[in-house]
Amino acid sequence: MTTEVTARSDNGVLTADSARRTTRHLLERVEHRLRDFLTAENEIWTAVDKRAPVPVGAVADLIDSGGKRLRPAFCVMGYLAAGGAPDAPGVVPAAAALEMLHACALIHDDVMDAAGQRRGAPTVHMKHSAEHRERGWQGEARRFGESVAILAGDLALIYSDRLMAEAPPALVPVWSELRAELIIGQYMDVASAAEFSVDPELSRWIALAKSGRYTIHRPLVVGATLAGATGLAAAFEEYGGAVGEAFQLRDDLLGAFGDPTETGKPAGLDFSQHKMTLLLGWAMQRDERVRDLVTTPGHDADELRDLLVATGVPDDVEKHIDELVQRGRAALDAAPMDQVWRDELGAMALRVAYRKT
């Protein structure tokens, strides 16, 4: 246990520098915890059979490939903002559990979206389908790759739970809510894409479940609960809802117009999967040519992008993101926390809303 690092500077005053240093230090410990956990599992299963650790390796590859680590970051910041002691046990495994759960969500999501790339590398199911083909194995390559991905995602879900079991039982309710919301949110996303229904209320609910709550609000509450604080719940809910919607809108914009070399995934995937994003829903309501083009098999991605720009919706989305960031930051104004953490969480709102990847 490191005792020198605290959220306050040497003379006991909390500064932006000391807050950031403590956050960074805890997030480094989260990385170590994830790596140590997966290394130990890999060793256990390697001793059984050379094939046995393959699903562990699939989870480890995804974790190692980086990512924004937003959920651990919000968990750690929620914890520190609520007055949690930097060297108390609990926050590191809880934050690691959130990232491990996210690994499950991404691996399964990529199967559901038939996504080929994630973080600039082949997705789990693509990698294993390719191996199946190269080796000329029995059965269908697609099914084999997807089976490996289903099992690797299941394993990540189980691992996330093992990590969370190291944190206090006070987390059980929020951990339960967070996970069920994630799955139901994913289902609603899949169902609304299939039905292709333009229902901005539904799209907002999905954005709230998948991004607002899962990525921001609940991780902040996990942190605050670990610190024993209850007075931040309303502020974290308001902040998480607003910044989460901004996060999702940025996701929509990056998915449509982002640079694949930066985002690590091909542009336009949402369209080919008929994802009913908020961006697309608004554009379809404004101009019926958008629906006609999106539902035309083999439509030209550039033509769709041009049409979207012509509707003016992307500009409106940018303005809405600005408003959401304002609203999220304002939600913290009256919250019982040090001004330093209000500033840090304000900076996180900017980072999330105006990210490039």
Which one, 209 or 353, has the nearer CB to its own copies?
209
Minimum gap (Å) between residue 31 Cβ and its own copies: 22
SS3 content of the chain, % helix, strand, coil (to 5): 75, 0, 25
CA contacts within 13 A on the Cβ side of 6: 11
Minimum gap (Å) between residue 53 Cβ and its own copies: 8
Calpha distance 306→11 (Å, rounded): 57
Mask 273-302, x = binds its own copies (CB under 8 A)? Answer: xx--------------------x-------
The CA angle 325-220-193, to the nearest 5 degrees, is 65
Compute φ and ψ for 117, nearest 5 degrees.
Answer: -130, 145
Member of 147, 330, 343, 350 binding its own copies (CB under 8 A): 147
Compute φ and ψ for 350, nearest 5 degrees.
Answer: -65, -45
Member of 88, 130, 158, 170 binding its own copies (CB under 8 A): 158
Give the residue among 188, 211, 203 at the shortest CA–CA distance from 313: 203
Member of 27, 157, 254, 325 binding its own copies (CB under 8 A): 157
The CA angle 350-351-353, to the nearest 5 degrees, is 65
Give the residue among 324, 187, 164 at the shortest CA–CA distance from 247: 324
Minimum gap (Å) between residue 16 Cβ and its own copies: 38
C-alpha 199: how far from chain center = 23
* Start-to-end Cα distance in the chain: 34
Name the one range near its own copies by CB under 8 A: 47-55, 236-244, 285-293, 332-340: 47-55
Name the one range near its own copies by CB under 8 A: 11-19, 49-57, 251-259, 337-345: 49-57
Name the one range near its own copies by CB under 8 A: 12-20, 73-81, 156-164, 236-244: 156-164
Mask 199-218, x = binds its own copies (CB under 8 A)? Answer: ---x--x-------------
Name the one range near its own copies by CB under 8 A: 85-93, 158-166, 307-315, 317-325: 158-166
CB atoms within 10 A of CB 218: 28
Per the document, the length of the chain is: 357
Give the residue among 258, 278, 267, 216 at the shortest CA–CA distance from 356: 258
- DSSP-assigned beta bridge partners for residue 127: none
Member of 88, 130, 170, 194 binding its own copies (CB under 8 A): 194
Tokens read off for 172:
């059980």
* Residues 149/58, Cβ–Cβ less than 8 Å: yes
State the DSSP H helix or E strand holding residue 106, giving kind and residue range, or none if neither. Answer: helix 91-112
Minimum gap (Å) between residue 190 Cβ and its own copies: 5
Q: Which of residues 51-90 bind its own copies (CB under 8 A)?
A: 51-52, 54-55
Minimum gap (Å) between residue 209 Cβ and its own copies: 9
Q: How many residues of this chain interact with its own copies, rule: CB under 8 A?
A: 56
Mask 163-192, x = binds its own copies (CB under 8 A)? Answer: --x---x--x---x--xx--xx-xxx-xxx
Which one, 125 or 250, has the nearer CB to its own copies?
125
- DSSP-assigned beta bridge partners for residue 122: 117
> Which residues contact its own copies by CB under 8 A?
41, 45, 48-49, 51-52, 54-55, 104, 108, 111-112, 114, 132, 135, 137-140, 143-144, 146-148, 150-151, 153-155, 157-158, 161-162, 165, 169, 172, 176, 179-180, 183-184, 186-188, 190-196, 202, 205, 273-274, 295
